[in-house]
Chains A and B, each alone.
Chain A
Amino acid sequence: MKLLTPDRLRLLVPALSLAVLLGAVFWLQPRTMSYTGLNLLFNLAVPIALATIAQMFVMMVNDLDLSMGTFVSFVACITATWVQSDPLLGYGALALCIAAYSAIGVVIYVRQLPAIVVTLGMSFVWGGLAVLLLPAPGGSAPDWIRAMMTAKPPFVPMAIVASVLIAAVTHWLVMRSSLGVLLRGVGGNEKTVRRAGWSVLRARAIAYALAGVFAVLAGMTLVGLTTSADANIALRYTLLSIAGVILGGGEFIGGRVSPIGAVIGALTLTLAASFLSFLKISPDWQIGAQGMILIIVLAVRLALNRREQRGARP
């Protein structure tokens, strides 16, 4: 049994980069090395991690979702308004959103449309609906979500518990369950899956529905943290979620994804921003520096991939 299988190596890079960044943050700002410190450092990463997982389900079947940010914003608006005032309508609307996501997956497959175009179009639909629902920033978080997001479990802060939980559940779902194998198969080799007698249509509908479920969770947890919503609250999540999946060892094609990696990727992105802010880098340079961190991590991974391929050849 080899200890460093390619899959583990793939996970090692994001895990190491998170560890290095965390070490640097601890060194720069010892205050973060505490219960509250870790919570403040990572609590906004929880919705990002969920959105990253949602994006991962779409990327797993070789598509890309450009509507993630606006969709999460829309969900946040529903959560801060209907779920709060009229729970039946609110949860109904959220269920409809998930159904809509599944339907989008079906339409993309049946009509053989490019997912980027369809989801880009949908991003305007979600954005428009969000503005209609909440024209001015406002609303309030349902009490139970607020309580959940500000909970203080013993010893380990909520943000860490939630991240581990998300990683564990999705790891089981994607890497261990038979459904996960099927979904990854669709991304890896659709033809083979079809010839083996599976319904690719059904698999893709499920993948998009799962993406919808996790995106809805992202929107709800986000409102739990911010206490209210606005129609543009999560626009960054589109790019963050894609970057998170890639950073965590996922690929754009081939059904090669890693749920644990995706969660780590989301945490790393959040931490990178904090790290730069602790360094007191001028804001003009921060966005570029954030990009540099991404490029460095990806370069390391590329180098490892090359080694892996060279090793695979006879």
Chain B
Amino acid sequence: MKHALILGSLALALMSGSALADTAGKKIALSNNYAGNSWRQAMLQSWDKVTKEAVAAGVVAAADPFTTAENQATEQAAQIQNLILQGYDAIVVNAASPTAINGAVKEACDAGIIVVSFDGIVDEPCAWRIAVDFAAMGKSEVDYLKTALPNGGKLLEIRGLAGVFVDDEISKGIHAGVAENPQFEIVGSVHGDWAQDVAQKAVAGILPSLPADIVGVVTQGGDGYGAAQAFAAAGRPTPVIIMGNRQDELAWWKEQKDANGYQTMSVSIAPGVSTLAFWVAQQILDGKEVPKDLIVPFLRIDQDNLEANLAATPTGGVANVEYSQADAIAVIDGK
């Protein structure tokens, strides 16, 4: 992120100030389909914080969030049509379905409204998509292990919720990474459902059948702390467990780091991606040429910035980052 920041501010400096003032009269709305978990709550809080500042600074005239009550596509379609009527210039969407709100999205485009979808993206061609490259996220875990464990070894994989697209994608990325690095071998795979308690039970269940020399655990987030507990309970040495940015995982990592210099890394998608979508919408309104498909950067925490991230993460929450206009420009320019 630091890298992106520098490049972003450079890009901003090059763009000069003239491009900034044109969106002062524009109104942006957030259409969100669901608010029932900590990730979504953090997402809404990030939106609130960043857009309030943007409105106060006069970058845009308004940036109002709207959440549907029942997480239903038809309800969100109606909501988007209402937003069209309310005269918003851009609508940022976290969609209940990739296809079922296409009709409403098309209506918005036809009315000259910019539609930017993120996280839950829509496949209507007239909308912009800020997608998550989950496969690349999985692969980045193996890339880290390659440097942390140059000799390779046996890995345990903890997967997410079976049958969900995200689980398949991350796992695909991990397996692709392992295929490229034959010094690693995945000797076991369990489903942790992105929950610490489930992961702990699943890992405890499979451990007796696994060889003693497990060197690493590749995960999907929300399962690293549970895995660590299972290894400790079995009296086994703790392997390198990739973490997923949850507060309990980071707290455990910090504890181990202070006690015995434990090293790992943590990666996940920051809920603040909503603010990235906000800035992308603002940039499009500003007249910038933006490709229809953008990729969200992951939020990666390493040994050296662990303390700062842990301090900023609320108990029971997820490490977050709010994006700035400069970050958005960097993402748009593919930096």
- Residues in A lying within 8 Å of B, measured CB to CB: 29, 31-32, 36-37, 40-41, 43-44, 47, 136-139, 222, 225-230, 232-237, 270, 273-274, 277-278, 280, 283, 286-287, 290
Does A226 contact B72, Cβ atoms closer than 8 Å? no
Contacts of A43 in B (CB 8 A): 81
The answer to whether B179 has its CB under 8 Å from any CB of chain A is no
Contact of B104 among A41, A47, A226, A287 (CB under 8 A): A226
Contact of B99 among A44, A225, A227, A235 (CB under 8 A): A227
A287–B70 alpha-carbon span in the complex (Å): 8
Contacts of B251 in A (CB 8 A): none
- Min CB distance A20 to B, Å, is 18
Does B77 contact A278, Cβ atoms closer than 8 Å? no
Interface positions of B from 32 to 51, Cβ below 8 Å from A: 35
Task: Pick out which of these stretches binds chain A: B17-25, B83-91, B270-278.
Answer: B83-91
A41–B77 alpha-carbon span in the complex (Å): 11
Contacts of A270 in B (CB 8 A): 78
Contacts of B81 in A (CB 8 A): 40-41, 43-44
The answer to whether B180 has its CB under 8 Å from any CB of chain A is no
Q: Which residue of A lies closest to B124 (CB)?
A: A227
Residue of A29, A44, A226, A273 contacting most chain B CB atoms (<10 Å): A226
Does B69 contact A287, Cβ atoms closer than 8 Å? yes
The answer to whether B291 has its CB under 8 Å from any CB of chain A is no
Does A230 contact B100, Cβ atoms closer than 8 Å? yes
Contacts of B68 in A (CB 8 A): 283
Q: A137-B97, A283-B69, A287-B69 are in contact. Are A32 and B85 (CB under 8 A)?
A: yes
A138–B111 alpha-carbon span in the complex (Å): 24
- Min CB distance B120 to A, Å, is 11
A29–B88 alpha-carbon span in the complex (Å): 12
Contacts of A273 in B (CB 8 A): 75, 78-79, 82
- Min CB distance A301 to B, Å, is 24
- Min CB distance B39 to A, Å, is 17
Interface residue range, chain B = 35 or more
Does B69 contact A31, Cβ atoms closer than 8 Å? no
Contacts of B87 in A (CB 8 A): 31
Does B100 contact A278, Cβ atoms closer than 8 Å? no
Contacts of B83 in A (CB 8 A): 277
Contacts of B283 in A (CB 8 A): none
A191–B252 alpha-carbon span in the complex (Å): 72
Q: A44-B77, A236-B72 are in contact. Are A31 and B85 (CB under 8 A)?
A: yes
Contacts of A222 in B (CB 8 A): 74
- Please name 25 pairs of A and B residues whose Cβ atoms are closer than 8 Å in the assembled complex, sorted by A: A29-B86, A31-B85, A36-B111, A40-B84, A41-B81, A41-B82, A43-B81, A44-B78, A44-B81, A136-B165, A137-B97, A222-B74, A225-B103, A226-B73, A226-B99, A226-B102, A227-B106, A230-B100, A232-B72, A233-B100, A277-B86, A278-B82, A283-B67, A283-B69, A290-B69
A290–B68 alpha-carbon span in the complex (Å): 12
Does B78 contact A274, Cβ atoms closer than 8 Å? yes
Q: A32-B85, A40-B85, A41-B85 are in contact. Are A226 and B78 (CB under 8 A)?
A: no
A138–B83 alpha-carbon span in the complex (Å): 24
Q: Which residue of B lies closest to A239 (CB)?
A: B70
The answer to whether B307 has its CB under 8 Å from any CB of chain A is no
Does A233 contact B102, Cβ atoms closer than 8 Å? no
The answer to whether B107 has its CB under 8 Å from any CB of chain A is yes
- When each residue 84-126 of chain B gets 1 if its CB lies under 8 Å from chain A and 0 otherwise, what string results? 1111000000000111111110110001000000000000100
Does A234 contact B74, Cβ atoms closer than 8 Å? yes
Q: A236-B72, A274-B78, A280-B64 are in contact. Are A137 and B99 (CB under 8 A)?
A: yes
Does A286 contact B100, Cβ atoms closer than 8 Å? no
Does B98 contact A137, Cβ atoms closer than 8 Å? yes
A40–B103 alpha-carbon span in the complex (Å): 11
A99–B209 alpha-carbon span in the complex (Å): 54
Known: A41-B85, A283-B68. 18 other contacts (CB 8 A): A40-B81, A40-B107, A43-B81, A44-B77, A47-B74, A137-B97, A139-B99, A225-B103, A226-B101, A227-B99, A228-B102, A230-B100, A233-B100, A236-B70, A277-B82, A278-B82, A283-B66, A283-B69
Would you list the 6 A-B pairs with minimal beta carbon distance, nearest first? A283-B67, A228-B99, A287-B69, A226-B103, A137-B99, A40-B81
A236–B124 alpha-carbon span in the complex (Å): 23
Contacts of B70 in A (CB 8 A): 236, 287
Contacts of A277 in B (CB 8 A): 66, 79, 82-83, 86
Does B78 contact A230, Cβ atoms closer than 8 Å? no
